Every structure is written in C-alpha cells, then in structure tokens.
Chain A
Amino acid sequence: MNPWATGIIHTLLLIVIMLLNGSMIIYMLRKVLGHLHLRLGPTELGPGGILQLVPDIVKLLVKEDRHPGTTDRWLYIIAPVIVFVPALMAYIAIPFSDKLIGFDVNLGVLMLFGFLTVIPLGIFAAGWGSHNKYALIGAMRAVGGAISYEIPLLLSALIPIMLAGSFSLKAITMAQTTSIWYWLPAFPAMVIFFICSIMETNQSPFDMSEAESELVSGFNTEYSAMRFGFMYLAEFSNNFIMAAIMVCLFFGGWSLPFIDPNSMGVFAPIVFIIKTYLVIFAFMFVRGTFSRYRVDQMLAFGWKKLMPIALVYSVVVAFFVKLISMKTGGGL
C-alpha cells in the first residue's frame, strides 16, 4: 500500500487511541478519587456516570477562548502544542502485543524519553507566555523538578535494559517471558521509576507546578477552553505512557506468568491494558493520599537520595550481569 496512506491511517489510529485512553482515564480518576474520599464520582448521566465526559468535552469546545492582552502571543499559542504533540508521538513505540506495535524501534526506550523531555519546555513556555506571576512560579518549579528527576528516571530504566540486553520495548518484554519479571531483581529500580513517573506526570505529591492551594492553577492559570483541553489531555496521555513503559520494563508487558506468550492472541492487548490501568490506579491512590513536597525538599530528594541510589544500583546490576554472562558464555 501507499506508505503515505498507511502513515496517515496509523496517525489517525493513534489519535483515536489517545482520545479513548484520555476519556477512560478521566472517568477512572473521578471515580477513584471519589471513592477514596468517601463520595461517589459522577452518577447522573449514563449508567454509573459514564457519559459525564460528553458534556465536559462540549463545554471545553464551546467556552470562550479569552486571554489577557499582555500575554506573549506566540508563546501562548505554541505552548499547548509543544505539550500535546510529544505525548501523541510517544504512542508509536509502545507494544500492545507482540504484533500490535506502531513501529518497533531499536532504541525504543531512548526515543520515548527523548519525546517526553520536550514537555517541560512546553510547560515553561505556557508559564512565561501567560504574563502572570502565579503561572511563572509554577512553570519554574515544573522545569526544575522535571530536569532533576530525569536522571534517576533514566538510570532506573537502564537496569531492565541491562538485564534484557536491548533498548527496544518489545525485546525487553519478550525477554521477561523467559525469566522472572524484572520487578523482583530490580526492586529499588522499580520504586525509583514509580516515584520519578509521578514527578514527570506532575501529580501529587510532586505537583509543584499546579499546586492548587498555593498558586491558583499553576502554569495553566490563563488557559481556557480547548487550549486547556489540550494540556489536560496531554497530562492524561502522559500518565498512560509512563504507566505503559513501567509495565513493559518491570511487569512483563502483555504476558501472564505461566502462559505461552505466542498463544495469547487477542488477549495480549487486553492484559496489557489491564496491567497499565492497575499502575494508573496506583498513581491515583498516591495522588489522593499524601501531602505535597516543598520545592527545595523535592529537589534535595531527587539529587541527594534518588540519584545516588539509582547510580549505585545500576553499577551493582551491571556487575552481576557481566558475571553471569561470563559464566554462561552468552546472553541472559
């Protein structure tokens, strides 16, 4: 088929997946936070409140898009785009099953993290372009936090890569089907990856950039209507992507413990999605429970505690991997 046509169809499919994911996660967030806080989430529209999203989307589309006259117009417009597009692009390399993958890149993990690094730039552009002191403070905090937590994130992601011997997400998942899932030998790495994912997705206890009780809404104070909708959707996509990467790296992707991975067929993407949503549930549970870090405490935690642990553990794992490969004379 014409490669342009396949490209366009793939892109549209990814957009549809992104929108479906976003709506699922929004519904799940409201229900989980509701039950965690002894109340129900939405209940009126549709059975159990499923259709609540429809009026929300209509509201976002119909609202007036108003911004103060003193904003830096070019930055103000481009910021939601910078935040949204990498979140969309990162869906390419995620393996939903061994055949359903957008593009099996050799350096999958590295490419994904490269995309996700662009997002704090968009947040800073949003905060600066808004010409609002609250937004500026939120944006500065977000950038500071994102930069300092990327290093432990990458170091802890390096450990399953070393254990599997490849950067491609699909290869790492396939490697876990023949040995135990990596969360057990790489347990500190899993904990560090979890903590850093909470930071990268700007959630509590690390949501300095949109701390609602201090800065009214952080970097998206001046955004309304669909521009806000873009950033909102991008935040939920980010959630899904980080959870999906975590599942692939540590929890065996689409495979179940005692079943032959090649015979799973259509159940593979379902298992993958269920596992991802369990990780997202863990994110939301932590979100509704803990206090927030102060900025300097958060940076101190990232630089002084997480990074040394990740560094030391990666050296330890490298040592053991080399030892085992020398003994068995080959890969793991």
Chain B
Amino acid sequence: MEPVLKDFDLDGMSVDQFVGYDNQGWLSKEPPAGIPVPRNLRRIADDPHKMSTEHFLLNVGPSHPSTHGALREILELNGESVMSSEAHVGYLHRGIEKLCESRQYTHLAPLMDRADYAGGILPETALAHAVENLAEIEVPERAHWLRAIAAEVNRIASHFLWLGPLGLDSGAMGPFLYMVRDREILQEILESLTGQRIMFNYVRPGGVFGDMTPDAEAKLRKWLAEADRRMDEHWDILAASELFQQRVKGIGVVSKEMALSMGATGFVARASGIDWDLRRDRPYGPYSKLDFDVKIAQDGDIWSRVVVRYDEFRQSIRMLRQLLDGLPEGPFMAKLPRVLRVPKGESYGYVEGCRGEIGIHIYSDGGTKPYRVRYRPPILYHLAMADTLLPGGMIADAIVTLASFDFCFGEVDR
C-alpha cells in the first residue's frame, strides 16, 4: 500500500504497519485494534496444520482460460460447492491515475482508453465532459453527435466481447466466433473513423479529433441494414437454447437492496429492478433528442442481465440509425489554444459506460496538468458483490457468474 496523494504525510509511520496480504492470502499479522477484517478471511497462519482438511482451496488463478483479465479468485470448496471465496485484484495495476498527473489535459485520452480497454470512447468522453465543465468550453453540436455515434458503435462492440466469452464459459464455442465476426466489422468502422481499432484517442476536450469520413459512413450504413437480422441470429444461437438458459436462470441473484447498497450502476442495477439510465435521466450530448427505450428486469439473476443487455444492443442499433440521419453540420472541434490551461477547481464528468457509470473527478490547481484524476470504475463495486454471490453455488456457477458481470480488468485495477 502506497499513498497516492502528493501531500499525504506519513508522519513517521512506516508502511509496514498497515495490514497486508502475503502470497498465501493469509493475514500477515494480527490486525491492530480498530481496523476491520474482511469477512471472508477466517484463518490466521500461525500453524497451517491446524486447518481442517475437509475443504480445499482452489486458486482460480490470474492466468486461467476464463477469468477475463487477471483476477485471482480463491475458492474454498467442499467437493463441488463453494463455501467461501475471495477476490484478489491488482495484477493489472499500471498507475494510470498517477500518470495522468504528468500529462497535459489534451493528452490524457490515450490513458483513459487503456483503463476501459473494451470500450475506449466512453472514458474519453467522461474525461472530456469533466474538462469542459471546468474550463467552460463550448463544444459544437456536430462534435456531440459524432461522439455519440462512436460511443454507440463501441458499446455494441464491447457487448459482443462480453457475450462471446459468456457463451464460451458456459461451453458453447460457436457463438463466440459469430460475435467476433460482427465485432470485426464494427472495429473496421471505428478504424475508418478514428484511426485505430481499440485505443482510439478520438474524443478530446472540446470536440473530436476528425470528421466523419464517407468510408466510415458507408460501412456503418451497410452494417445497420442487416443488424437486426444478425441480432436475431445471435439470440437464437445462444440465449434461446434451453441448455444455456438452464445454466443461467436463478443463479447469481443480486437483490435490489444489495445493488443499491453496493453502488451498482448500469446494467447490473437495471437487471435488479432499479430504473436508472444516465442517457435518459441525466442526458448529455444528443441523447435528449433521441428516441430509445430502457429495459428493466426484476429478478437480478444472470438471465436478467443477459436479457437487459440484448435489449441494449437493439436500442443502440436504433439510436445509431437516428444519429446517422440527423447529424448536423458544423465544426467538429472547438477553438482551443495549443496548451490548455484550466482554472482552479474540481469537476465531475460522467457517462453511461458499457458496464455502468464511468465518472472522472478532476481536481485542478490552475496549471496545464491536472493535480489529481480519480476514475470511478463501475466494475469494482460489482466485483465486491461477487464475494457474497459465489458461496452456495458450484464451481460452474461461479465461473458463469463472474463472466456475467462483464469484467474488464483495466478498469478495476487501472
């Protein structure tokens, strides 16, 4: 554990005094009075031979075919049932928030791409909102619409990257490749628009990097012409089959109270019955002019999340048609100085990300580089729920539950 803020005063304390984990996952020493102990951890390693021998610990380790990214999950198993579980994160920590303090505001976009790598446009948009709020920059209308087009295309691509591995974790190899085929088409569209397939560096404070090219527009229209038929096929191959439904119904139930108290947002909250979508309730950009529905499910199990997300696909396709037809004329970038100097203060920019609410809180001290950037990762709070959801099921349920939350470990660890 290291202090991150530059003005945190250790005051003579050494970092060792904080309770930490060593490799085995045991507490390294007795916790001093007053520090809360995580609820799942029950053993203190003074004598490993005193452990009971009925349950055994399985390390679904950082490199495993089905942990999406680098998650170490320690499961205590009794045969096939999970007794307790513990998640260890931090294998992908790159210090993004600290790196942001050494870059100018207009150069922060590549770092935000790497936080949520599956849907990169959305954290960039959140950063742009935060900086525009603080520096009071007027963004042209066409830039808002272009940002929304890129965001929705990216949302669909990110959802494909979730659905394919969900099928793969439950055993079906075919659907994964059909979704990869569609995701390739979307990545080609984004490549024609922004220049890269994953790390876009497209949305800047003040607008976007480049205008819509005729190439990208043609490819997007061609895809939209048959997008509905393809979504029907994706529904039939995976979600309509009873084998898949039998695997996911009634498992991993997140109740409404748990979702509210743990800070779940996005599709996890909508699947548990909370009626909240940032695009509709706190609209930004062109979303107040678009016509779309928001689906709410009541059960909170994996099947509800799958259903809510399938509907998000269809609504994004609907929004893309309206966005392409209604794109206004005008400039795509505001007139900004080469080096942006932002006045002193703090602001919070938010978007409805692919996995929940992405929020970026910037604290600026009046210079060209931010003083502190805090990235609110939506999935960290969902992962905190996982330790409560996994016990009581079997290993197969644990794997599918973890896959259904759509983890993207760049966001959790930053």
Contact = CB atoms under 8 A, between A and B. Distances in A.
Direct contact of A and B (CB under 8 A): yes
Contact of A214 (B181, B244, B396): B396
A205 B244 CA distance: 10
Interface residues of B, number: 29
B171 A133 contact: no
Tell me the interface secondary structure of chain A in the complex: loop
Given A36-B174, A133-B56, A291-B172, A212 B80 contact: no
Interface string B132-174: 0000000000000000000000000000000000011111111
Given A37-B174, A294-B397, 17 more contacts: A38-B178, A39-B177, A137-B80, A204-B171, A213-B65, A214-B169, A214-B399, A288-B173, A289-B172, A291-B238, A291-B241, A292-B170, A292-B247, A293-B171, A293-B243, A293-B247, A294-B394
Contacts of A39: 177
B179 to A, nearest CB: 11
Interface of B: 56, 58, 64-66, 80, 167-174, 177-178, 181, 237-238, 241, 243-244, 246-247, 394-397, 399
B177 A38 contact: yes
Given A38-B178, A133-B58, A216-B65, A291 B167 contact: yes
Contact of A291 (B56, B177, B243, B394): B243
B172 A295 contact: no
A290 interface: yes
A289 B58 CA distance: 29
Interface of A: 33, 36-39, 133-134, 137, 204-205, 207, 211-214, 216, 288-297
B69 to A, nearest CB: 15
Contact of A290 (B64, B172, B178): B172
Tell me the interface secondary structure of chain B in the complex: helix
B176 to A, nearest CB: 8
A214 B80 contact: no
Contacts of A36: 174
A324 to B, nearest CB: 37
Contacts of B58: 133-134
5 contacts: A289-B172, A289-B237, A293-B246, A294-B396, A295-B394
Contacts of A293: 171, 243, 246-247
B171 A292 contact: yes
Given A214-B399, A291-B243, A296 B394 contact: yes
Contacts of A291: 167, 170-172, 238, 241, 243-244, 247
Contacts of A38: 177-178, 181
A291 B243 CA distance: 6
Report the 6 A-B pairs with minimum CB-CB distance, sorted nearest first. Answer: A292-B171, A37-B177, A213-B66, A291-B170, A291-B244, A291-B171
A204 to B, nearest CB: 6
